[in-house]
């Protein structure tokens, strides 16, 4: 497995408190979102049939529901609620100079 490195994902100003941004980092789809001042970064496609999770909606503070068929994930852990085999990968992130980087 190749070593991970910090890679640019998005300008911080483009991530508002309400948005879910979809980006590709080294060809990996990733969603970025901000909750209570903290930035979360997760694999950007649903484990069910691959819909972009940026089209999802929040049904609870930290629970994102896929817009296609309703699978639900905890954005803090990437875990699917009810199916432990459907966990989304999560990525560490950091902000430097107004830019968000993910470890991928």
Minimum CB separation of residue 11 from ligand FES in Å reads 28
Residues 53-92 that bind ligand FES (CB under 6 A): 66, 68-71
Structural tokens at position 1: 């497995």
Cα separation, 40 vs 15, in Å, equals: 11
* Cα Rg of the chain, angstroms: 13
**Nearer to ligand FES among residue 11 and residue 69 (C-beta):** 69
Compute CA 89 distance to the chain's CA centroid, rounded to the nearest angstrom: 9
**Nearer to ligand FES among residue 51 and residue 81 (C-beta):** 51
Question: Where does this chain bind ligand FES (CB under 6 A)?
Answer: 46, 48-49, 51, 66, 68-71
């Amino acid at each position: 497995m190749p070593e991970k490195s910090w890679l640019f994902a998005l300008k911080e100003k483009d991530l508002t408190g309400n948005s879910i941004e979809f980006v590709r980092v080294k060809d990996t789809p990733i969603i970025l979102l901000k909750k209570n001042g903290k930035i979360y970064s997760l694999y950007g496609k649903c484990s069910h049939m691959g819909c972009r999770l940026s089209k999802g909606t929040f049904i609870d503070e930290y629970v994102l529901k896929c817009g296609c068929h309703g699978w639900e994930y905890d954005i803090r852990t990437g875990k699917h609620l009810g199916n432990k085999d459907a966990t989304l990968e999560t990525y560490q992130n950091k902000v430097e100079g107004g830019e968000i980087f993910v470890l991928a």
